[in-house]
A and B are shown apart, each in its own frame.
Chain A
Amino acid sequence: MEVSEITYLQAIHDAIDEELARDDKVFVFGEDIRQWGAPLGEMKGLFKKYGPNRVLDTPISETAMIGAAIGSAATGLRPVVQIMFAEFLSVCWSDIFNAMCKPRYMSGGKIMFPVTILSYCGAGISAAGEHSGCLDGMEMSIPGLKIVAPSTPYDAKGLIKSAIREDNPVQVFYHKKLILGGLKGEVPEKEYTIPLGKADVKRRGSDVTVVATMLMAHRALAAAEKLKARGIDIEVIDPRSLAPLDKETIFKSLEKTGKLVIMVEEPKAGSSASEIAAVVAEEAFDLLKAPIKRVCAPDTAIPFTPALEKVWMPDEDNLIKAVTEIM
C-alpha cells in the first residue's frame, strides 16, 4: 500500500478538503477561516479552492453558528462548524445539548442533523484557563452526540471523514499540542475512512491495560518504554471514539491483563476516564484483578504558568506510578 508521511494538521485539512470535494452538500463555517484557514491553519486554502458558498466566515456568534448548523443540516446540507477552542462549546451548550442532540429522539425519528463540530482541545501551550481544556467527559454525558478524539494523523483523517459522512451530530476534538508540535505519521495515499466507535490497540502488552486518548496516548506509549525497562509490559488502547465507546476492545484486553489504568487530560470528576471506569466496573468486574486507576488532572482550573501547567497535566511519571501501584 502506498503511504505518505503527513502532519496531524495536514491530515485534518485533507479530510475536510476531500469531503468538500466529494459531496457538494458539505460546507464549512467558523471564525477566521477565510484569511487564516482557522486559527491553527487546518483549513488553509479551502476558501480559495471552494469559494464563499462552501467556506464561510462567521461573526463571534457561537450560538447562532450551532443553530445555523442544525437548521441547514435538517434541510439537506452537511455543515461542518468550527467552534475554535473547546471551552467555547460551553457558550452554545444549550444549542448543542438541547437543540442539536435531542430532536432526533424527541421527534420519534422524524428529523436528523448531520452536523460535524470541530474544536481544539488540550493544554501544554500556556493558553491559560479558558483556552486549554478537554471537555470529553462533559460531552459524553450528552445522549445523541458522537465524539471522536484522534491521536495520530491516520486516525484524524479517517475519523473526520467518517464524522462528516455520519447522519448524526459528531463532535471532533483535535489536540492543540499535537497540531503545534508538528506530529507526523503515515497515511495511505488511497482514500480510506475509519468507522466511528472502533478503538485501536496502539501497543500490545500483557501486564496492564492502559486506555488513553489524544496527547495522553502518546505519553502512555512513552511510559510503556520506561516500564518495559522495569519488566512491566503495558497494552495501550486508544478508544479514538469516546461515543460510541468500543467496550469490546477494552474488555478483550482485560481478559489478558486483568488490570486497568485510564489516562485522560481532564479533571478527574466527571471525566471520560470516570465513564470508562464505570462501564468496566459494571460490565466487566469479573475480569479485574486490581482496582481501576484513573490518571487525570486535578479538579481545578488550568493554571497559566508553565511551572504549574506542567504539574497539572497528567504525565508519564503519574502513569508509571499508577501502573506500579497495581502490579
Chain B
Amino acid sequence: MKIEKEKLLWMYRTMVQIRVFEERIGSEFAAGKIPGFVHLSSGQEANAVGVCANLRIDDYITSNHRGHGHLIAKGLPLDTMTAEIFGKKTGVNKGKAGSQHLTDMAVGCLGAEGIQGTPVPVAVGAALSAKLRGSDQVAVAFIGDGTLNTGRFHEGLNLAAAWKLPFICYCENNTWAESTNIYDVTALTDISQRAMGYGIPGVAVDGNDVFAVYEAVHEAVARAKKGEGPTFIEGRTCRRHGHFEGDGHLYRSQEDKDECLKKDPIPRFRKKLIEMGTMTEAEADQIEREVKEEMEKAVKFAEESPFPEPEEVYTDEFA
C-alpha cells in the first residue's frame, strides 16, 4: 500500500514522540515528580500511530489507562499533556484528570477511561452519533487484551454490529493484564475470532509493524465509511515496562521480556524508511533530536507551571 512521504514522516516522528514521552515520564515518575500511577505504552507505538494515521482530527477515539500514545497520535500537544500528568493548572484537564483520564474533544478524544471495558460502548456512541448526524466520521476504541473479558466489550461490539456503525475496536494484545496472562484466563487463543460471534470481520495483525496496522485500519475505515459496519482488529504487540511504573513485572519470564525488546517497532520502521528512501539516517537523527528537544520543553513547561488554586475543586462539575 502506498503511503505518501509526508504521512510516513509524520508516523515516524509520532512514534518517536511517544517513546521519548513515555521514557521521560517514566524517569520523572521515578524521580518522584509525578503523583499517582502511570502506565506506559513503550513498545506499543506502532498501534497508536498505525491507527491514528488513518484518522482525521475530527474522528473519534476512546482510550484506556495506557493511553498516552493514543492521545499523542491523535494530536494532543506534549506540553499540556505533561503538565496534566504533573498535576498542574496548565494541564489539558487542569490537573483534574492525571495520566489515566486524559480527555480533549478538540482532538476527538472522548476520554481515557480507567474502568476497563468502558471505551468500547462510549466509542460506539460516538460512531452512532456520526451516523445519525450524517457525517463521515469514524470512531475507534483502543482497548487491551484484558478488556476483552468485560461484559461491555460484548455489548458494545454487538450493538455496533447490529446498527452497522462506523466503529473500529482496536485491541492491543500485549498478552498481559496487570500480572495476569491473558491466555490463563481466556480459552480462545486466536482473539480475532471473537469477531465471528458478532458477524463482523476480525483481523489479527503484527502490532509491532506500523505498516501492517495502518493497512488493516485503512480497510476498516473504508468499510465503516461505506456504511458496512464495524471491524475488530487485534494488534499483537508487547509491553516493555511493568503494568505501572514501579511494577517490577517479576511474573514474566526473562525470555518474554527480552523478546519484547527485540521486537521494538521503532528501529524496524526507521530501517524500512531509510531503505525506501523516505528519509536519510541524518534526517532520522534530526527528527529524534527535535522530539527530544520538544519533550525537554514540555517538561520545563510542566515544572514551571503552578498547581491549581484550591477553589478549582468546586469548578467544572456541571456544564
Contact = CB atoms under 8 A, between A and B. Distances in A.
B313 A308 contact: yes
Interface of A is mostly: loop
Interface string B82-103: 0000011001000111111100
Contact of B180 (A31, A62, A127, A129): A31
Interface stretch (A14-22, A101-109, A241-249, A299-307): A299-307
Interface in B141-164: 146-147, 149-151
Interface in B177-208: 177-180, 184-186
Q: Which 4 A-B pairs have the closest CB atoms?
A: A305-B87, A304-B98, A126-B36, A305-B95
Given A32-B178, A36-B179, A130-B101, A306 B87 contact: yes
Given A31-B180, A32-B179, A35-B251, A128 B97 contact: yes
Interface centre among B96, B97, B178, B310 (most CB of A within 10 A): B96
A316 B317 CA distance: 25
Nearest to B306: A307
Given A36-B179, A57-B184, A303-B95, A308 B37 contact: no
Interface in B101-135: 101, 113-117
Given A125-B36, A308-B95, A59 B186 contact: yes
Contacts of A32: 178-180
Nearest to B315: A300
Contact of A129 (B96, B149, B151, B314): B96
A83 to B, nearest CB: 12
Contacts of B179: 32, 34-36
A60 interface: yes
B312 interface: yes
Nearest to B251: A35
A130 B310 CA distance: 21
B75 interface: no
Contacts of B308: 305, 307-308
B314 A305 contact: no
Nearest to B184: A57
B101 A127 contact: no
Contacts of B100: 128, 130-131, 304
B115 A304 contact: no
B298 to A, nearest CB: 17
Interface residues of A, number: 36
Contacts of B310: 307-308, 311
Given A127-B36, A130-B113, A304-B97, 18 more contacts: A31-B178, A35-B179, A57-B180, A58-B185, A59-B146, A59-B186, A60-B147, A60-B150, A60-B177, A125-B36, A128-B99, A129-B96, A129-B114, A131-B100, A305-B87, A307-B307, A308-B310, A308-B312
Contacts, number: 117
Contacts of A62: 150
B35 interface: yes
Contacts of A36: 178-179, 251
A88 interface: yes
Given A59-B149, A59-B186, A299-B317, A307 B114 contact: no
Interface in A296-327: 298-301, 303-308, 311-312
28 contacts: A31-B178, A31-B180, A32-B179, A34-B180, A36-B178, A36-B251, A57-B185, A58-B185, A59-B146, A59-B177, A59-B180, A59-B186, A60-B146, A60-B150, A61-B149, A88-B115, A91-B117, A128-B98, A128-B99, A128-B101, A300-B313, A303-B312, A304-B96, A304-B100, A305-B87, A306-B87, A307-B95, A307-B308
A64 B96 CA distance: 32
A72 interface: no
A206 interface: no
A129 B97 contact: yes
Contacts of A128: 36, 97-101, 114
B151 A304 contact: no
Contacts of A311: 310, 313
A313 to B, nearest CB: 10
Contacts of B98: 126, 128, 304-305
B225 to A, nearest CB: 32
B87 A307 contact: yes
A127 B317 contact: no
Nearest to A132: B36
Interface string A247-281: 00000000000000000000000000000000000
